Amino acid sequence: MTKTSGAAREQPPGLAGDQHPDDIVERLGSADHIIESDSPPNRLRYVLVLIGAVCIQVSAGIVLSGLSMFTDRIRADLWPDGEVSRAQVQSFYSVILMVGIAVMPIAGRLIGRLGGRKLLVIGGLISSLGIAGLATAQGMAGLYLFSAITGLGFGMSVNYVPIILVNTWFDKFKGVAMGTVVAGTGVGGMVGSLVFSNTNQPVEDGGLGWRASMLIGAALYAVFCLIPAWLLVVNRPSDVGLPVYGRTVVETDHIVLENEVADGVPLPGLKVGEAIRSGWFWLLYAALIIMGVYYAMGQITQPYYINQGSYPGSGVTPALAGALMTAQMIGLIVTKPLLGALTEAIGMIKAMAIVMIVHAVAGYLLGSVLFPTGWWIFILTALVGAGFAIGSLTPPLVCAAAFGQRDYPAIYGVLGSAYPLGLAVGSMIWSAAGMIGADAGQPWQLYRVAMKWCWILGVLILAGYFFAIRGGRARQHRLHAETR
């Protein structure tokens, strides 16, 4: 038998007039939504939702890390005389991210009406068709058209919904859960590096060609997005009679109580309008853009390794480049849940600082390496990959830390666009910068310089996080004293 939460019987601050939680529930026709469970929650359901979110993030990784591997093959096929620059071709990838960015705030509004599961199915179908369409492109117009379609589905589904699922389902161990889920992007990148590095070579060189490889990418994307969305994803724990993990109260699915009341008291945090009108929001937005530019270097590691083959006797082959990219992705995958656990143990800023220091040292050493090298290059590359873990893990966590849970889906729908915006801009910057003033026979030399000095951007990012969290929390306390 269920019972109404004792905390919910007292008038909580923040409800208008004489409204009482029990009165609201009575108008909904049932008091069974606000319950205190007498038995342990069904932990299997939390695990299944988490697995589903991880699989969906694998699809995101196929886009974020996998599609950029096609740039050189597309250019060599469509513009063999080099009349279109690499940076121009790489811009198709930026279009995917830019359209995805534009869609995310809309998804933040739609998720309350449609639910994450429907957004995943609709968006997953759209982006799968967009990726398949890229395989038919004959020029930049086709690349841009199908990139826009891919970005439309990407932004409303795999790039947004898994983050909201973690935030909705977990209170306790949220950092570990978030780290586990976003590690899926690393798995997707590893799948992409293993598959595409060996298949998108021209047929005459023993590959399948980039068009067939792109169709394989579309199929992988659809499998990792649509099947888990259909079988594993549940929008909210209350939909199956469970509390948020770490709480004892099952909240009503009514919008007023879900967004503003938990355990009988208002959820802490700002409303979306209050957050966006804050200078601290835009400081954090700028920090996330810088972080996107910083970590966009990870998008061009594979062509960087490939181009080391221009050194006489370097020994770098496409297979070795793929193996090194796999090492980078393993470092990324392992570090994300560890960083989540470290964040819960010592705090986000300290945890970020530790990982960034490791990344800075490893990046400096990697920027100094000349090929051929020994086996230790795989360890060094894995440590560089570990540093990239900060990129996708910390934006959703810092959003909650600075602006709270009250209107999290809508706020993250806007703030979450900053990091992919930085990736979109950064991938083009690094692609172009790698050729500036470089020896024609040994390109990508400026990438070495970037790896050595990227720690400067890391300092700016840490400072932005620190002050935005302090300022956002102060604004919460000033506007919503009842949540202190």
Question: What would the DSSP string read from start to end of 48-89?
Answer: HHHHHHHHHHHHHHIIIIIGGGGHHHHHHHH-TT--S-HHHH
Q: Are strands 35-36 and 261-262 parallel, antiparallel or unpaired?
A: unpaired
**Quick one: pLDDT at residue 264?**
47
Alpha-carbon span 401 to 393, nearest angstrom:
13
Residues 6+ apart with CB under 8 A from 8: 21, 22, 34, 249, 261, 263, 264
179 and 220 fall within a common domain: yes
**Quick one: pLDDT at residue 454?**
84
311 and 203 fall within a common domain: no
Per-residue pLDDT of the chain (484 residues; tens, 9 = 90+): 344 343 333 333 333 334 444 443 333 333 344 444 434 457 889 999 999 999 999 999 999 878 878 888 999 999 988 888 877 888 898 899 889 989 999 998 888 888 999 999 999 999 999 999 999 999 999 999 999 999 999 999 998 999 999 999 998 889 999 999 999 988 888 888 788 878 888 888 778 999 999 999 999 999 999 999 999 999 999 888 888 888 765 554 433 334 444 444 557 889 999 999 999 999 999 999 999 988 887 767 777 787 777 777 788 887 788 788 888 888 988 999 999 999 989 999 999 999 999 999 998 998 888 888 888 999 999 999 898 889 888 999 999 999 998 889 889 989 988 988 888 788 778 777 766 665 655 556 777 888 888 889 899 999 999 999 999 999 998 988 765 5
Domain tally for the chain?
3
- Scored b (16 or more CB within 10 A) or e, 412-433 reads bbbbbbbbbbbbbbbbbbbbeb
> For residue 305, what are its two tokens?
């390794």
Alpha-carbon span 483 to 480, nearest angstrom:
6
250 and 225 fall within a common domain: no
Alpha-carbon span 25 to 158, nearest angstrom:
33
102 and 154 fall within a common domain: yes
Residue span of the structural domain in which 24 resides: 1-36+242-266
DSSP 424-471: HHHHHHHHHHTTTT-BTTB--HHHHHHHHHTHHHHHHHHHHHHHHHHH
> For residue 437, what are its two tokens?
């003033």
φ, ψ for residue 250, nearest 5 deg: -85, 120
Give the chain's largest Cα–Cα span.
80
Alpha-carbon span 479 to 474, nearest angstrom:
9
**Quick one: pLDDT at residue 38?**
38
CATH number for position 210? 1.20.1250.20
77 and 131 fall within a common domain: yes
Final residue before a domain boundary, out of 218, 235, 252: 235
262 and 276 fall within a common domain: no
249 and 279 fall within a common domain: no
**Quick one: pLDDT at residue 445?**
72
**Quick one: pLDDT at residue 88?**
85
C-alpha distances in angstroms, 238 versus 7, 166, 266, 481?
18, 14, 18, 28
5 and 25 fall within a common domain: yes
**In terms of Cα–Cα distance, which of 101, 157, 108 is closest to 129?**
157
Final residue before a domain boundary, out of 191, 219, 235: 235
**Quick one: pLDDT at residue 391?**
84
164 and 208 fall within a common domain: yes
384 and 286 fall within a common domain: yes
10 and 98 fall within a common domain: no
Query: Half-sphere exposure of 123 toward its Cβ, with a 13 Å CA cutoff?
Result: 33
φ, ψ for residue 261, nearest 5 deg: -130, 130
The gap between the terminal CA atoms of the chain, to the nearest Å, is: 33
Compute how many other C-beta atoms are within 10 angstroms of the C-beta atom of residue 330: 18
Alpha-carbon span 210 to 202, nearest angstrom:
7
Find the DSSP H helices in 83-173: 86-114, 116-134, 140-156, 161-169
**In terms of Cα–Cα distance, which of 367, 382, 386 is closest to 295?**
386
372 and 395 fall within a common domain: yes
User: Do 150 and 63 meet the contact criterion of CB atoms below 8 Å apart?
Assistant: yes
Give helix then strand counts, H and E, for the chain.
Answer: 21, 4
